[in-house]
């Protein structure tokens, strides 16, 4: 495993972040893993040097946080040995105040997350989306108070426009509040719109980038094919992927497959190596429901792509409408 600082902070994270969204009630999604099935994967990730774990309160209505907390407590003796991240924003109950980024919801949500996780603090507390109904000043002050209370060590953001991120950072800076140190955005070889504004902003401001969906919901790993063919349980039960990606994206997939064949490695390793080779990227958030998914992620760290190989992978790209901000 290789390690890096998260942006310009002093926080060290593994170059692979294990996403915990896939772990929860099997009745919720056919591709979810229960605790008994998930723990061997988590154990293997830890053996491979992974120390960075990401979840969210909304994942399976809090069940993911509960499983994540229990497993990490069993597998790590020292709370300081790993970096734990969670998120707030999406509805967690029927009340209009059970959602969003108001002070009321943030204060209630962080306490609820800590109870489910079984810990006194999270290392990274992230806003899951931008809240158009709450003044960003209210949100940033509430998040600052969460940090001051010792319930979070750092703050992160996810999936928004660059102007929104810049506005939030500037408001926090002017008020002397805690700023975001990371951006968890939708970024992979078939969706590169983040390169227009968000990635340059993060690079300039020293913000760590931890992309979600690094394999495009399995598209880059061979989970689906042109014309709608699906080869995995996840691909067969993932309506969002149908909305986000199109047949034209398989031109990029073909380039990944061709290079993978030349290298003699699975396509997923090439797609992840491309992300890891971007100096702005700190750690892709990788989901794993099979041992092979973890092995691909761990092996990708040691694959160095040449400039010519990166151009081959990038050249078939076509622009997309903005995806993932809502």
Question: Would residue 59 show up in a list of annotated catalytic residues for this protein?
Answer: yes
Q: Which of 3, 23, 59, 161 is catalytic?
A: 59
H helical segments located in 195-249 = 198-205, 233-236, 239-244
Distances (CA, A) of 147 to 13, 114, 184, 197: 19, 13, 19, 28
Q: How far is CA 276 from CA 127, 183, 308, in A?
A: 24, 15, 16
Q: How far is CA 88 from CA 101, 112, 159, 195, in A?
A: 7, 10, 13, 25
Cβ pair 88, 58 in contact under 8 A:
no
Q: Return the DSSP state at 238.
A: -
**Cα first-last separation, the chain:** 34
CA distance 315 to 276: 18
Burial of 306 (0-12, 13-18, 19+ CB in 10 A): exposed
Instruction: Tell me the catalytic residues.
Output: 59
């Amino acid at each position: 495993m290789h390690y890096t600082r998260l942006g310009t902070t002093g926080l060290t994270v593994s170059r692979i972040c294990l996403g915990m969204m896939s772990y929860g009630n099997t009745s919720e999604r056919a591709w979810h893993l229960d605790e008994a099935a998930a723990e061997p994967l988590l154990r293997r990730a830890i053996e491979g040097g992974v120390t960075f774990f990401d979840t969210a309160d909304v994942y399976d209505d809090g069940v993911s946080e509960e499983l994540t907390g229990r497993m990490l407590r069993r597998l790590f003796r020292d709370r300081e040995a790993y970096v734990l991240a969670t998120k707030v924003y999406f509805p967690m109950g029927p009340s209009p105040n059970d959602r969003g980024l108001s002070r009321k919801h943030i204060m209630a949500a962080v306490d609820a997350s800590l109870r489910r996780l079984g810990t006194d603090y999270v290392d990274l507390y992230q806003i899951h989306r931008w809240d158009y109904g709450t003044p960003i000043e209210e949100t940033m002050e509430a998040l600052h108070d969460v940090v001051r209370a010792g319930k979070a060590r750092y703050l992160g953001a996810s999936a928004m426009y660059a102007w929104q991120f810049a506005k939030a950072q500037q408001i926090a800076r002017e008020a002397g509040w805690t700023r975001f140190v990371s951006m968890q955005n939708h970024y992979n070889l078939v969706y590169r719109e983040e390169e227009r504004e968000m990635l340059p902003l993060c690079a300039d401001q020293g913000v760590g980038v931890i992309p979600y969906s690094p394999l495009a919901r399995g598209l880059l790993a061979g989970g689906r094919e042109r014309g709608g063919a699906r080869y995995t349980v996840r691909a067969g039960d993932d309506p969002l992927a149908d909305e986000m990606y199109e047949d034209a994206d398989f031109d990029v997939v073909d380039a990944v497959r061709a290079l993978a064949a030349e290298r003699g490695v699975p396509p997923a390793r090439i797609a992840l190596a491309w992300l890891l080779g971007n100096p702005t990227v700190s750690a892709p958030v990788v989901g794993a429901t099979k041992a092979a998914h973890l092995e691909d992620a761990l092996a990708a760290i040691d694959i160095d792509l040449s400039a010519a190989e990166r151009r081959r992978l990038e050249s078939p790209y076509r622009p997309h409408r903005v995806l993932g901000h809502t």
